[in-house]
Every structure is written in C-alpha cells, then in structure tokens.
C-alpha cells in the first residue's frame, strides 16, 4: 500500500510540527508501546526507561523513567543514517543499540512488557499498520543473515500486520525511502481472556529532515515544553 502526500517546504513543515510535539533524537525508548486496562482498553504511548541511555528529547537526556502520549514526540531519523535492503535505499533506525548510537539515532523498540501474557489467548497480540501518510514507503525488518532480511511490515508490498508475544520488548530496523514527515497509524489487537476481543490504535510521527544548514539550525534551536504522563 502506498499513500503519498506532497511535501511542504522543509522549514514550513518544521514550524508547523514544532507547535505540537518535542523531538526524539536519540537514546533508548519504546514506541509504539502499549498497556491495557479493562476500563479503558489498550493504552498506546512512548515508554522511556530512563537512566544514562534514556531518551534524548529536545536535546536533553531523560534519565527519569517517563511516558509520553503518541502525539507528544516526533521521532527523528537523520538523513545520513542510511542502509540498502533488497536494492532499495532507506533512511534507517537500527535494531542494534551500538549502530543506533554510532549513527546518532533513537534506539526505538516496540514495548509490550505491560501486557501480561496470561491475560491474552495464546499469549499473543497482533500489531497492524493501519495507515501510512508521507512522501515514501516504510519497512520494518530484522536482519536475517544469509537468508536476507526478515520483513514484518512493508507498505510497498502491503505486508501490514504480524504477531508478537505479550509481555515482550522487541527491536527492529525501521526504514523510510524519502525525506519528509511520516504518520504511521498502528493498531494492536488480541483476545483478552475475560474482556474478549480488544483493539486500540494511535498514530506516531517520524521525520527525516533535509540536510540543509538552515533546517538543521532551526531544528537545533527549537526548545519545547514537554508533557509526561505520570
């Protein structure tokens, strides 16, 4: 599935997005992450464990454990962090923490630790990419050695869902084919042992900034207030 949007001029897009969210530029953080409550259902968010390797938000390492709503952060994928997969070039967030640090990117995971496996039939849930808007395609994969990449989501080939074990924490490679802003809407679903079939969704924003002095200067100068969930 391809859903392409025309790009706004880089500085205009940056200015518009700056009114709504802070920039995630490094450190270890999970997003999408999901909790569950019988009254409110699935609770999508970002989860930062903190510590020395905590999320870098607006240039500041968040050493205290914290959570953010999905629309509170924009995940920045640097234009110079790239990889080629099956002859396609991607702007890249690595599944490997050392590579992420070396490339100056967030180390982004998918967090399901808050879901008790005993609460879900089969101990599993399904993650679906409901929609994508942006200038290019999105790929989520793990390195597969000699067998090639193990692809979980691919907007170009309509690979849109896969199963995960509840209670786990997973890291993948994230790839985007073009510069610009992407909104990825993720849905989680599963059969709760007492509440029945449950699902919830939220959109997460990613940005691959253009390599211009003006843009990078404006990006670095922005200071935003951050709101955290307790």
Higher-pLDDT residue of 129, 212 = 129
Whether the pLDDT of residue 5 is over 80: the answer is: no
Separation CA 99–CA 150 (nearest Å): 18
| In a domain? residue 226 | no
Can you tell me the mean pLDDT for 178-183? 97
* Number of folded domains that form the chain: 1
| In a domain? residue 64 | yes
| In a domain? residue 5 | no
148 half-sphere exposure, CB direction, 13 A CA radius = 6
Whether the pLDDT of residue 217 is over 80: the answer is: no
* Token couple for 132: 């994508």
| In a domain? residue 181 | yes
Q: Residue 212 has what pLDDT? A: 63
* Token couple for 82: 């790239």
| In a domain? residue 120 | yes
Asked whether the beta carbons of 161 and 127 are under 8 A apart, the reply is yes
Can you tell me the mean pLDDT for 169-177? 98
Beta bridge partners of 74: 23, 205
Separation CA 34–CA 126 (nearest Å): 12
Q: How far apart are the first and last CA of the chain?
A: 37
DSSP string, 193-222: TTTEEEEEEEEEEEEE----HHHHHHHHH-
Whether the pLDDT of residue 224 is over 90: the answer is: no
Q: Residue 73 has what pLDDT? A: 97
Q: Residue 147 has what pLDDT? A: 73
Whether the pLDDT of residue 229 is over 50: the answer is: no
Q: Residue 215 has what pLDDT? A: 47
User: Mean of the per-residue pLDDT values for the chain?
Assistant: 87
Higher-pLDDT residue of 211, 8 = 211
pLDDT tens digits, 56-95: 999 999 999 999 999 999 999 999 999 999 999 999 999 9
Q: Residue 13 has what pLDDT? A: 45
Can you tell me the mean pLDDT for 8-18? 41
Q: What share of the chain is helix, strand, coil (3-state, %, to 5)?
A: 15, 50, 35
Show the domain range for 98.
10-221
Separation CA 58–CA 24 (nearest Å): 7
| In a domain? residue 38 | yes
**Spatial CB neighbours of 13, under 8 Å, sequence gap ≥ 6:** 7, 180, 181
Q: Residue 144 has what pLDDT? A: 83
Q: Residue 210 has what pLDDT? A: 82
Higher-pLDDT residue of 209, 220 = 209
pLDDT confidence band for 20 (50 / 70 / 90): low
DSSP string, 142-153: E--GGG--EEEE
Whether the pLDDT of residue 214 is over 60: the answer is: no
């Amino acid at each position: 599935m391809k859903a392409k949007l025309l790009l706004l001029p880089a500085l205009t897009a940056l200015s518009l997005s700056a009114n709504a969210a802070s920039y995630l530029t490094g450190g270890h953080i999970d997003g999408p992450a999901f909790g569950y409550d019988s009254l409110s259902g699935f609770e999508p968010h970002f989860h930062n464990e903190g510590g020395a390797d905590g999320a870098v938000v607006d240039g500041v390492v968040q050493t205290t454990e914290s959570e953010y709503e999905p629309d509170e952060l924009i995940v920045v994928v640097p234009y110079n962090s790239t990889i080629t997969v099956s002859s396609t070039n991607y702007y890249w967030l690595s599944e490997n923490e050392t590579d992420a640090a070396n490339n100056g990117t967030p180390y982004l995971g998918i967090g399901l630790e808050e879901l008790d496996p005993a609460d879900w039939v089969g101990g599993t849930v399904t993650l679906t990419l409901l929609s994508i808007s942006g200038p290019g395609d999105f790929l989520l994969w793990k390195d597969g050695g000699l067998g090639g990449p193990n692809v979980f989501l691919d907007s170009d080939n309509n690979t849109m869902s896969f199963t995960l074990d509840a209670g786990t924490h997973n890291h993948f490679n994230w790839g985007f084919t073009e510069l610009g802003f992407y909104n990825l809407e993720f849905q989680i679903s599963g059969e709760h042992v007492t509440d029945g079939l449950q699902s919830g969704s939220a959109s997460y924003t990613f940005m691959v900034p253009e390599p211009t002095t003006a843009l990078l200067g404006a990006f670095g100068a922005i200071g935003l207030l951050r709101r955290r969930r307790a």
